[in-house]
Amino acid sequence: MVKHLALRIALVLLALGQLKPDARAADQSAPAASNVPGAPTPTLSPDRSISFTLRAPDARTVQVAGGDGLGAGPFPMTKDAEGMWRVTTPPAVPGFHYYWFVLDGVSVNDPSSETYFGYGRETSGVEVPEAGAEYYALTNVPHGELRAKWYLSKTTGEWRRAFVYTPPGYDGNPKTRYPVLILQHGAGENETGWTRQGRAQFILDNLVAAGKAKPMIVVMDCGYATRPGMPAVTFGPDTPLSDALLAFSTFEDVIIHDLIPAIDASYRTIADREHRAMAGLSMGGMETLFITLRHRDTFAYIASLSGPIVPNLNSNQSLGSVRPSDFDSKTAYEGAFANPAEFNRRVKLLWLGVGTAEPELFRAGIGAAAKALKTAGVQLVYFESHDTAHEWQTWRRDLNDLVPRLFR
């Protein structure tokens, strides 16, 4: 206890005095914005190379591993005489990258980093600035609020937490009503992803301040849901897509029967299809297409960000075995696109995006679907994020392109 007390007191004083580490003026590197306050590493150099450290005098091997944008790791670290392991990686792709140390074979977080929910667990992350990209920065403009909203789900029988972004001026204009964007994270992530990793609230603030987007409410829920007593299904990479989509149907009920009514009851929404959008990234994009194309009476704006395309909802194919050429605009998504004129009249926006550095499964499938739909006469926006991978910088750019197109 005395040791803990001394540690706590030391921490008070250290935190008070040393929140701002000395600037590394000599080599122009600086601690990453994603570090915990006061942590000197990781540091970013102007060329976007990243230096990592970990004190582990007794370790035999330490590596840095992480998201695609970090480069072709893992990167072996080397130990100095004081037991500090170090490595400087090659210049990284701009944006947010998950990372972790592999310490004698065990994946562990960097104590110097904030944590971000990804890969089904809390994970370290490093923010690599993109030159000239201010659109996701915390700038001197009016800011909305980010609200944690608890609501009871009849579908799951449990309280759920959604995050709700209300735009600048929401409280000050009590007669104004707003359109709603439901915005979903990817696999292994949760309802915190779009604001912690994606900085969605700042992208919205900046777009609204610049007059580029309509003020709107953004709702971010957790994309997993199970019914009470639902038997645990043992899925694997080879599981038929139809089984995965059966699981999505629980989330569909949460969105349609629980979340939307709770939001419309709690916030000053414009509660009709012309003022309701849904978008999601990766798994969230799959969920968005699955749910919105079944509920075109509920949503007029639809966006899938790097979301794998499912040619046949009822097939026994696995996701990995889908071929882009399987996509048939007449039959895909239960025939939602079979009558392009009707679709174009009802759906105000269909938006599909992908990063050019994403794996073939994403690029080829999304590109083929976009091409087939256009050929069939379905109006859509197809957006490519250049040189970014299946990572958050792609989805930040996506959101920055998408939001100005909503509710026009």
Chain-centroid distance of CA 193 in Å reads: 5
Q: How far is the CB of 33 from its own copies (least distance, A)?
A: 12
Residue from 25, 26, 58, 132 touching its own copies (CB under 8 A): that is: 58
DSSP result, 252-320? HHIIIIIIHHHHHHHS-B--SGGGEEEEEETHHHHHHHHHHHH-TTT-SEEEEESPPP-S-TT----GG
157: tokens are 């029988």
- Asked if 1 is part of the footprint of its own copies (rule: CB under 8 A), the reply reads yes
| 315 part of the interface to its own copies, by CB under 8 A | no
Contact between 169 and its own copies per CB under 8 A: no
- The window from 37-45, 290-298, 339-347, 378-386 that contacts its own copies (CB under 8 A) reads 37-45
Distance CA 277, CA 348 (A): 10
Site string for its own copies, 354-393 (x = CB under 8 A): -----x-x---------------------------xx---
Could you say which of 17, 26, 134, 386 contacts its own copies (CB under 8 A)?
A: 17
Comparison of 138 and 210: residue with beta carbon closer to its own copies? 138
Stretch that binds its own copies, among 32-40, 73-81, 269-277, 326-334 (CB under 8 A): 32-40
How far is C-alpha 365 from the chain's CA centre? 20
Region binding its own copies by CB under 8 A among candidate stretches 17-25, 40-48, 322-330, 335-343 = 17-25
Whichever of 211 and 231 has its CB closer to its own copies, that residue is 231
Say which residue the tokens 């580029």 belong to.
212
End-to-end CA distance of the chain, in Å?
61
| Contact with its own copies (CB under 8 A) among 71, 129, 188, 367 | 188
Interface residue with its own copies, options 6, 157, 210, 274 (CB under 8 A): 6
Q: Among residues 333, 355, 249, which one has the least CA distance to residue 289?
A: 333
Q: Report the site for its own copies in 230-249 (rule: CB under 8 A).
A: 230, 232-237, 239, 244, 247-248
Least gap, CB of 265 to its own copies (angstroms): 10
Please tell me whether residue 93 adopts helix, strand or coil conformation.
Answer: coil
4 vs 408, beta carbon nearer its own copies: 4
Residue 378: both structure tokens together: 């379905």
**Minimum Å distance from CB 362 to its own copies?**
8
Question: According to CB under 8 A, which residues from 106 to 135 bind its own copies?
Answer: 106-109, 111-115, 117, 119-122
Nearest to 381 by CA among 307, 281, 304, 329: 304
Segment 319 to 338, residues that bind its own copies, using CB under 8 A: 319-320
- Nearest Cα to Cα of residue 148 among 196, 187, 186, 114: 196
Residues in the chain: 408
User: Which residues on neighbouring strands pair with residue 101, listed in sequence order?
Assistant: 64, 108
